[in-house]
């Protein structure tokens, strides 16, 4: 019986193992105890399925099948308990918490400051370094002292001092507490098992299957197995056409490099292997196997490409080159859906790119196909963990509008209310409060809500818009919602409060349970249910119990530790099935990572994400060791990972009947370099005047979401609502838009559509303008009293201080701007006060004028004037304050900016106050008040300073407005979008990006290139 077996690529590897095991057991007259050892847990499941398949579903007694990566006492066999006396493994969370505290302490000693979350991440990298060193049998304390010599930079010497945490302090702690590192314990178990077998001479069959691992402890274990009477080493697909010299000289980036190293350590050659090549054979042409072995040859062997350059055909091997990741995902999903039309055909997507795997899963949902994703889901992405992180984020950020809304809109957030009602109230808060607000703090937001309610109370309830009325009717519930929220998170508030990590976790879990509770379920029944809930609860328990070594921390420090603690935690859930009609995974569709895909078999495989940096991966020597240091320490270069991923690529291309290679041209909106193996494949085929077949899936993607027929260009909208629906009142401000873009009036006044302000949108410009307007109103109300610079300054600053929706940084900046504006205003009015010719002011004056036009047309013009000034000579001046862009004088005169002339006309006709009626209009004046380098500027409309000119201009506007009213009371007059294209330059200046309603008018479809109609 041969000890060394190889199974060629064109045979189903695990099915062959199962078939041969059963044949040999039958020949022995039964099923004695035995053991099959495989590289990973996924292979355990696949091998069990192979046994069932080979036995045609009949019951059978399986051998013990164990994964070497998850080995424990239960998976091994010992003759006596005395053979296995080992300390328990330290809990992973305890190890990270202790290393975190040591890192923080070490940084303090070195005079550095470090955040707790960063320290946790460094602790994780230190733990990984220890695990790697233990697997390869490297004594870090001895090796590091040799690696970091004088020729290295001083910072490497500092790193060596820092690494004393794991070379001296940590080993001593383990010894004092009688614990072991997890990897150290696995190694001890393997060595104990090997020793037990050597001493007892185990007579049961023990097969090690599918290994290509040259780590010393694995090699020692494999050596022991093959020395057993019935021990076997079984590998997959050896390459025969390489000479022994070339085989032994393969570089570490070659697919067989790890296997070569393992054979060398075991003292065996390829000639020692017996072939099992007649069992479970698949229809894979040897030409394809030879081709992929050829293209992966090392650089010094590429001369063999010149031999036998006849054209080749890679049967059932295809390539797609999508433009980007999304097209790649859609194409892969279409190929999977197409393959499912063939009964019993099994399909797998293999990729190291989890983003691509997620995209493909989502696309498969179009057809109700739910793939069996072996990689599971990161625990930090599950709903419960996201909910906890949103609570922490809101508390750390002091409830900014974005963080508060993110929390309230999470599906778990209920605050004791039914989930639908909580979501409804959240939308009301969003529209009426949070989207109108920039400042943070629950108390500030509560005050803004109460102020909004008080403002609505002053309005006529019969004329309220429907949405405002609904908001007001639920106002008491909104106040109660914020009160309950504040009460539930009270223990998490306070930026300077310090607790232990365990205490913070307890407070966080308690707050989450209270926030998740609704009228039907308690919060704990929602948070901790199903696989993801159980995994989250277990992790929180570990954080409570195992982090006692970390000293007290603030909330922000705890939040960073909490987020970092989820790194690498995976949970296998059934979340993908929730809310779907099909409540089970598809039995013929799989998504595998590279490790899980090894030794697996399906009918069609799609290799996705074949680009440099993804597959093969980018190489990093780690946070602590440079490449030269690694070589000196004997830890090996990280380039070996390229060889491992190359082996997965080659094995899949050679062992699956149908192979599709996917190599995107762009990733994250940037060009990518195609995988070196795709580039080599194209070059190898080109030398043989051949090409790889292109799969038609990319063509399918073009038709997937396309409507039938060619697109129909959109014409300029021309709505003609009934006269009864047309507005009977308009503000002076909206007249400007009526002239420039009537469609905006249609959308705003007739359809009652309002732009939703962006969440935390920068509204600083408009808020500053409101402060200046209100401040100057208060200043001029006291104009007849004492007029002092300090009084003006204080009046403006009082208005600023009253506002709660302003960020602190803006307040400090605006404080200086307002002082400059105050100085300028004081200087402007100083000469007038000296002459004692004090005018009468009408400040922020509301006015209206009723038109009774021909054909029974009644219409109202409304407006608010910033300042109307009735001088002692009986003339009237109209002032407008501008904190932003001031209109050009020519645009006021040509009709683009009707505000000042219409305000003047309304004043002339007594619309603001009867005492202003029929007084001559002497001036239109803009006050440009920015408070910048130039404190202020007074701008008069040119060429209307002659007697009667201002009155004539305002009268001309007045007549045009009446014609506009009459025209739009006619049902045949449409509300066009931008009806005056010859004024496009002015549009750009006066309506940024053509207004808030351009997307509804679909201007970009019909307006560009034609200039409008």
d(CA 603, CA 439): 58
Task: Give the three-class secondary structure for 936.
Answer: coil
CATH topology for 317-376+581-619+644-702 is Rossmann fold (3.40.50)
- Provide the CB-side half-sphere exposure for 816 (13 A, CA): 7
Task: Give the three-class secondary structure for 482.
Answer: helix
Q: What are the φ and ψ backbone dihedral angles of 273, each rounded to 5 degrees?
A: -90, 140
> Taking the CB of residue 4, how many other CB atoms lie within 10 A of it?
18
Identify the pLDDT of residue 151.
57
Packing angle, helices 732-740 and 949-968, rounded to 10 = 70
Give the distance between the most distant pair of CA atoms in the chain: 125
Identify the pLDDT of residue 668.
84
pLDDT at 180 over 90: yes
String of DSSP letters for 372-421: EETT-EEGGGSHHHHHHHHHHHHHHTT--HHHHHHHHTSTT--TTS-HHH
d(CA 916, CA 904): 10
d(CA 464, CA 470): 9
d(CA 215, CA 640): 12
Per-residue pLDDT tens for 465-517? Answer: 888 899 999 999 999 999 999 999 999 988 788 999 999 999 999 999 999 99
pLDDT band of residue 745 (cuts 50, 70, 90) is very high
Bridge partners, 169 (sequence order): none
Identify the pLDDT of residue 1010.
46
Per-residue pLDDT tens for 510-543? Answer: 999 999 999 888 999 999 998 899 999 999 999 9
Q: What percent of the chain has pLDDT over 70?
A: 93
CATH code, 4-83+189-281:
3.40.50.300
Place of tokens 């006050």: 927
d(CA 82, CA 192): 11
Task: Give the three-class secondary structure for 39.
Answer: coil
Q: Do domains 4-83+189-281 and 317-376+581-619+644-702 have the same CATH topology?
A: yes
d(CA 521, CA 534): 17
Per-residue pLDDT tens for 183-235? Answer: 999 999 898 888 888 888 788 899 999 999 999 999 999 999 999 999 999 99
Task: Give the three-class secondary structure for 450.
Answer: helix
* Under 8 Å between Cβ of 287 and 316: no
Per-residue pLDDT tens for 403-462? Answer: 999 999 999 999 999 999 999 999 999 999 888 877 788 888 998 899 899 989 888 877
Angle at 342 between CA 338 and CA 344, to 5 degrees: 125
d(CA 304, CA 694): 26
* H helical segments located in 782-854: 789-802, 808-835
* Under 8 Å between Cβ of 181 and 90: yes
Bridge partners, 67 (sequence order): 38
pLDDT band of residue 74 (cuts 50, 70, 90) is low
Per-residue pLDDT tens for 605-664? Answer: 999 999 999 999 998 888 888 888 888 888 888 999 999 999 999 999 999 999 999 999
H/E stretch holding 457: helix 442-457
Token pair listed for 280? 């479970």
Q: How much is the mean pLDDT over the chain?
A: 87
Distance set, CA 702 to CA 19, 275, 610, 652, 706 (Å): 46, 47, 22, 29, 7
Over residues 548-569, the mean pLDDT reads: 93
Identify the pLDDT of residue 990.
47
Distance set, CA 601 to CA 40, 335, 339, 793 (Å): 15, 18, 16, 80
CATH 3.90.320 fits 729-761+839-986, yes or no: yes
Place of tokens 């696309």: 363
79 vs 957 pLDDT, higher one: 957
1009 vs 96 pLDDT, higher one: 96
Per-residue pLDDT tens for 222-234? Answer: 999 999 999 999 9
pLDDT at 991 over 70: no
Over residues 92-101, the mean pLDDT reads: 95
The ranges assigned to domains in the chain are: 4-83+189-281, 92-179, 317-376+581-619+644-702, 379-571, 729-761+839-986
String of DSSP letters for 741-766: -HHHHIIIIIS---PPPPTT---HHH
């Amino acid at each position: 019986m041969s000890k060394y077996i190889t199974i060629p690529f064109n045979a189903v590897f695990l099915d062959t193992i199962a078939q041969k095991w059963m044949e040999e057991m039958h020949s022995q007259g039964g099923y004695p105890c035995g053991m099959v050892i495989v590289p990973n847990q996924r292979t355990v499941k696949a091998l069990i399925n192979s046994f069932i398949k080979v036995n045609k579903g009949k019951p059978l007694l399986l051998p013990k099948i164990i994964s070497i990566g998850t080995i424990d006492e239960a998976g091994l066999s010992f003759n006596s308990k005395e053979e296995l006396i080992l300390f328990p493994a330290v809990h992973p969370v305890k190890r990270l918490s202790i290393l975190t505290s040591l890192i923080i302490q070490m940084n303090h000693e070195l005079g550095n400051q470090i955040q707790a979350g960063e320290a946790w991440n460094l602790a994780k990298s230190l733990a990984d370094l220890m695990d790697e060193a233990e697997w390869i049998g490297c004594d870090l304390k001895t090796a590091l002292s040799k690696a970091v010599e004088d020729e290295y930079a001083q910072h490497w010497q500092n790193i060596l001092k820092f690494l004393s945490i794991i070379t001296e302090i940590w080993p001593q702690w383990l010894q004092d507490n009688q614990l072991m590192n997890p990897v150290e314990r696995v190694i001890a178990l393997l060595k104990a098992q090997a020793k037990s077998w050597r001493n007892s001479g185990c007579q049961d069959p023990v097969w090690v299957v599918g290994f290509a691992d040259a780590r010393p402890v694995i090699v020692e274990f494999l050596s022991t197995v093959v020395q057993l009477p019935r021990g076997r080493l079984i590998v997959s697909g050896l390459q025969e056409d390489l000479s022994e010299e070339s085989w032994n000289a393969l570089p570490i980036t070659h697919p067989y490099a790890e296997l070569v190293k393992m054979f060398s350590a075991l003292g065996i050659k390829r000639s020692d292997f017996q072939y099992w090549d007649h069992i479970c054979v698949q229809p894979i042409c040897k030409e394809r196997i030879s081709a992929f072995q050829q293209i992966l040859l090392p650089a010094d062997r590429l001369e063999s490409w010149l031999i036998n350059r006849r054209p080749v055909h890679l049967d059932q091997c295809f390539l797609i080159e999508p433009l980007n990741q999304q097209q790649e995902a859609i194409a892969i999903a279409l190929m999977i859906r197409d393959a499912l039309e063939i009964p019993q055909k099994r399909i797998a997507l293999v990729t190291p790119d989890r983003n691509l795997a997620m995209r493909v899963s989502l696309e498969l949902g179009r057809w109700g196909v739910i793939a069996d994703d072996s990689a599971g889901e990161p625990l930090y992405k599950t709903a419960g963990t996201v909910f906890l992180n949103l609570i922490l984020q809101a508390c750390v950020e002091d409830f900014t509008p974005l963080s508060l809304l993110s929390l309230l809109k999470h599906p778990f957030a209920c605050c004791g209310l039914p989930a639908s009602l909580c979501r409804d109230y959240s939308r009301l808060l969003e529209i009426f409060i949070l989207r109108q607000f920039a400042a943070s703090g629950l108390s500030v937001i509560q005050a803004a809500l109460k102020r909004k309610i008080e403002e609505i109370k002053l309005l006529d309830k019969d004329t309220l818009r429907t949405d405002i009325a609904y908001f007001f009717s639920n106002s008491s519930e909104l106040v109660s919602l914020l009160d309950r929220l504040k009460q539930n998170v009270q223990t998490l508030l306070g930026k300077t409060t310090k607790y232990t990590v365990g205490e913070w976790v307890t407070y966080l879990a308690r707050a989450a349970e209270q926030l998740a509770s609704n009228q039907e379920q308690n919060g704990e029944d929602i948070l901790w249910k199903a696989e993801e809930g159980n995994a989250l609860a277990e992790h929180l328990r570990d954080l409570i119990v195992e982090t006692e070594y970390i000293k007290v921390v603030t909330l922000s420090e705890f939040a960073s530790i909490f987020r970092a603690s989820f790194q690498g935690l995976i949970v296998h859930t059934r979340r993908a099935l929730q809310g779907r009609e099909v409540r089970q995974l598809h039995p013929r569709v799989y998504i595998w990572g590279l490790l899980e895909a090894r030794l697996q078999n399906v009918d069609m495989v799609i290799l996705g994400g074949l680009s440099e940096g993804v597959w093969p991966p980018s190489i990093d020597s780690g946070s602590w060791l440079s490449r030269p240091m690694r070589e000196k320490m004997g830890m090996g270069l990280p380039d070996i990972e390229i060889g491992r991923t190359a082996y997965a690529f080659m094995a899949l291309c050679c062992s699956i009947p149908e192979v599709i290679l996917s190599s995107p041209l762009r990733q994250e909106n940037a060009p990518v370099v195609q995988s070196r193996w795709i580039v080599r494949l194209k070059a190898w085929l080109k030398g043989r005047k051949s090409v790889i077949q292109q799969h038609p899936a990319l063509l399918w993607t073009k038709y997937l979401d396309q409507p039938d027929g060619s697109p129909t260009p959109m014409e300029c909208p021309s709505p003609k609502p009934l006269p009864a629906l047309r507005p009977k009142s308009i503000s002076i401000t909206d007249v400007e838009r009526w002239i420039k873009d009537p469609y905006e009036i249609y959308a705003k006044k007739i359809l009652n559509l309002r732009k939703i302000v962006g969440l935390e949108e920068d509204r600083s410009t408009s808020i500053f303008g409101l402060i200046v307007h209100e401040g100057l109103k208060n200043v001029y109300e006291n104009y007849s009293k004492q007029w002092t610079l300090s009084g003006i300054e204080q009046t403006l600053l009082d208005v600023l201080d009253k506002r709660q929706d302003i960020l602190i940084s803006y307040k400090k900046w605006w404080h200086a701007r307002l002082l400059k504006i105050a100085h300028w205003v004081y200087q402007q009015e100083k000469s007038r006060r000296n002459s004692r010719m004090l005018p009468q002011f009408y400040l922020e004056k509301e006015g209206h004028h009723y038109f009774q036009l021909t054909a029974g047309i009644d219409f109202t013009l409304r407006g608010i004037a910033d300042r109307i000034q009735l001088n002692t000579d009986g003339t009237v001046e109209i002032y407008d304050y501008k904190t932003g862009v001031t209109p050009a004088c020519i645009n006021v005169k040509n009709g683009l900016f009707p505000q000042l002339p219409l305000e003047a006309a309304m004043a002339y006709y007594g619309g603001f106050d009867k005492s202003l009626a029929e007084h001559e209009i002497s001036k239109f004046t803009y006050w440009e008040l920015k408070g910048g380098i130039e404190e202020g500027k007074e701008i008069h409309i040119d060429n209307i300073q002659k007697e009667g000119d201002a009155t004539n201009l305002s009268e001309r506007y007045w007549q045009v407005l009446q014609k506009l009213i009459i025209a739009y009371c006619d049902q045949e007059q449409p509300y066009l979008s931008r009806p005056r294209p010859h004024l496009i330059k002015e549009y750009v200046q006066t309506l940024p990006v053509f207004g808030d309603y351009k997307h509804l008018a679909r201007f970009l479809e019909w307006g560009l290139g034609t200039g409008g109609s």
